[in-house]
Chain A
Amino acid sequence: MRAVITVVGKDTVGILAKVSQKCAESNVNINEVTQSVLEDIFCMIMVADISKINKDFGAFSEEMKKMGCDLGMSVHVMHETIFNSMHRI
């Protein structure tokens, strides 16, 4: 089972570190990362394996969102299924 984590907002120091830290704490393995900085807008998309997650997925998603708020970024965690079903036949 994989989740997609998106992080969008103003670029600051340590965004990637903080997000990865949170993933590691929750035993979520990051498979892929793409990131771009356009002017000073930071946009990162991670695909992560959540099959061994050590807490409730909802709680993990909530924590990430809250951390995003603290950083002034918008963070979303969603199951990969929604993207697959919407964009693939």
Chain B
Amino acid sequence: MINTHEILETITMIQDENLDIRTVTMGISLLDCMDADIDKACDKVYNKIVSTAKNLVPVCCEIETELGIPIINKRISVTPIGIIASACKEQNPVKFALALEKAAKQVGVNFIGGYSALVQKGFAGADMELIKSIPEALAVTEHVCASVNVGSTKAGINMDAVALMGKIVKECAERTADRQCIGAAKLVVFCNAPEDNPFMAGAFHGVGEPDVVINVGVSGPGVVRAALAKNSEGLDLTGVAELIKRTAFKITRMGQLVAQEASKRLGYPFGIVDLSLAPTPAIGDSVAYILEEIGLECCGSCGTTATLAMLNDAVKKGGVMASSRVGGLSGAFIPVTEDAGMIHAATIGALTIEKLEAMTAVCSVGLDMINIPGDTSADVISALIADEAAIGMVNSKTTAVRVIPAIGKNVGDELNFGGLLGNGPVMKISTYSPAKFINRGGQIPAPMQSLKN
């Protein structure tokens, strides 16, 4: 029998500490939608998504009411469109983006990811056309998210793609300058992109995945922070790590339950639970506040990387035990504009891009949701992507860059996206030119996996 304390603990987590399921993401393979005629292919894509995902939103709402746990987003990820578009004679992939948008609206999901290309070792098929069409695709759609994988530990880093992505990121912001440059917030540049990630903007459905699959991403920074606030007084760091582990276990169990229920009711296999601590701009639901609760005056101070490393590891250790299958990005997220504590730290100047870069070496994603001055050159953005990809490549982990050039704005100004994407200050970035390095192009060879130093 469950005791009173446990019941009240669960209810407090949901009511007061922002515990929720961040997303139930249905991964749908579009490999069977390929066609030489792009219009036919788009019809097939639309029909497959609508018929497969028609029950996704109603079923999630049903689970929400029954279990009493909020499911914030319902999302879809699809096979990278770069692959699907390769079969088409006419290659204007924006038509696919419009088909995805129409399908997303029809089934009522919050986002659809997979306007993507995997080019870590080179461009094939429609990859180049797809990448070049990303700015237009993200400007004319609302729900579509794009991602490009430019590097991996096995392949190295495709520096031609990196050079191109600097320009694309900038163009995405320029095309949506009248809408807070939102285009760039829907584009992620990856190294070692996971194929089963339920989180946006980087979700896509890998080719090694089954036809349809249900992946779940949990949230819960607020719960971890509250657990530390209530119980960590006098604990040493071993004790703190234990406490985080235990809390992460409980959070993940909730994700596992929702994933199993959703999979059973929708009739598609359960894929993975992504054990991420995903913050929201709501006060209290912040990864930065967890770091501060452990003992930093402000996120970004010396000690931030070590604290984050411990947090990230403890979350994984607790979560792995709680779920039968774990995957995706799993760890702590540090998106600046989506995290009240990060926004504060960046605004007062305690948190810099350089410190964030160091943090990405020990946590689950990368330079995420960072506003940079609108006049930052494409070369600088490319070089930032290269740095981040290098961290991922060498450390055999996923890293990513999602920066938003704030067109017409400078350091100290602000962009406000609203909703889960939040708001935040424009941060300072080094303007010394890496142009010669970027313009060399080519491939950074894959790194040694032994002689680790």
- Interface set of A (CB-CB < 8 Å, partner B): 4, 6, 32, 34, 43, 45, 47, 57-58, 61-62, 74, 76-88
How far apart are the CA atoms of A43 and B12 in the complex, in Å?
A: 13
B10 to chain A, nearest CB (A): 6
CB-defined contacts of A43 to chain B, threshold 8 Å: 4, 8
Q: Would you call A86 and B10 a contact (CB within 8 A)?
A: yes
The majority secondary structure among interface residues of chain B is helix
B390 to chain A, nearest CB (A): 40
Q: Would you call A78 and B67 a contact (CB within 8 A)?
A: yes
Q: List 26 A-B contacts (CB under 8 A).
A: A6-B7, A34-B4, A45-B7, A45-B8, A47-B1, A57-B65, A58-B66, A61-B65, A62-B65, A78-B11, A79-B66, A79-B67, A82-B10, A82-B67, A82-B68, A82-B69, A83-B6, A83-B7, A83-B10, A84-B2, A86-B6, A86-B253, A86-B254, A87-B6, A87-B250, A88-B2
Question: Is B18 among interface residues, defined by CB-CB distance under 8 A?
Answer: no
CB closest residue in chain B, given A84: B2
B253 to chain A, nearest CB (A): 5
How far apart are the CA atoms of A80 and B257 in the complex, in Å?
A: 12
CB-defined contacts of B6 to chain A, threshold 8 Å: 83, 86-87
Question: Is B90 among interface residues, defined by CB-CB distance under 8 A?
Answer: no
CB closest residue in chain B, given A2: B2
- Interface set of B (CB-CB < 8 Å, partner A): 1-2, 4, 6-8, 10-11, 15, 62, 65-69, 250, 253-254, 256-257
Q: Would you call A57 and B66 a contact (CB within 8 A)?
A: yes
CB closest residue in chain A, given B251: A86
How far apart are the CA atoms of A84 and B62 in the complex, in Å?
A: 19
CB-defined contacts of A84 to chain B, threshold 8 Å: 2
CB-defined contacts of A4 to chain B, threshold 8 Å: 2, 7
How far apart are the CA atoms of A87 and B1 in the complex, in Å?
A: 10
How far apart are the CA atoms of A6 and B68 in the complex, in Å?
A: 12
A10 to chain B, nearest CB (A): 17
CB closest residue in chain A, given B252: A86
CB-defined contacts of B257 to chain A, threshold 8 Å: 81-82, 85-86
How far apart are the CA atoms of A32 and B2 in the complex, in Å?
A: 12
How far apart are the CA atoms of A82 and B254 in the complex, in Å?
A: 7
Q: Would you call A61 and B68 a contact (CB within 8 A)?
A: yes
Q: Would you call B65 and A6 a contact (CB within 8 A)?
A: no
Q: Would you call A78 and B68 a contact (CB within 8 A)?
A: yes
CB-defined contacts of B68 to chain A, threshold 8 Å: 61, 76-79, 82
CB-defined contacts of A61 to chain B, threshold 8 Å: 65-66, 68
CB-defined contacts of B66 to chain A, threshold 8 Å: 57-58, 61, 78-79
A35 to chain B, nearest CB (A): 10
Nearest 6 A/B pairs, CB to CB: A78-B68, A58-B65, A85-B257, A87-B6, A83-B2, A86-B253
Q: Would you call B254 and A58 a contact (CB within 8 A)?
A: no
How far apart are the CA atoms of A81 and B69 in the complex, in Å?
A: 12
Q: Would you call B11 and A81 a contact (CB within 8 A)?
A: no
CB-defined contacts of A88 to chain B, threshold 8 Å: 2
CB closest residue in chain A, given B67: A82
A39 to chain B, nearest CB (A): 16
A6 to chain B, nearest CB (A): 6
How far apart are the CA atoms of A82 and B11 in the complex, in Å?
A: 10
CB-defined contacts of A78 to chain B, threshold 8 Å: 10-11, 66-68
How far apart are the CA atoms of A80 and B2 in the complex, in Å?
A: 9
CB-defined contacts of A58 to chain B, threshold 8 Å: 62, 65-66
How far apart are the CA atoms of A80 and B7 in the complex, in Å?
A: 9
A61 to chain B, nearest CB (A): 6
Give the most central of B65, B69, B254: most A CB within 10 Å. Answer: B65
CB closest residue in chain A, given B5: A87
Give the most central of B4, B7, B69, B257: most A CB within 10 Å. Answer: B7
How far apart are the CA atoms of A45 and B253 in the complex, in Å?
A: 22
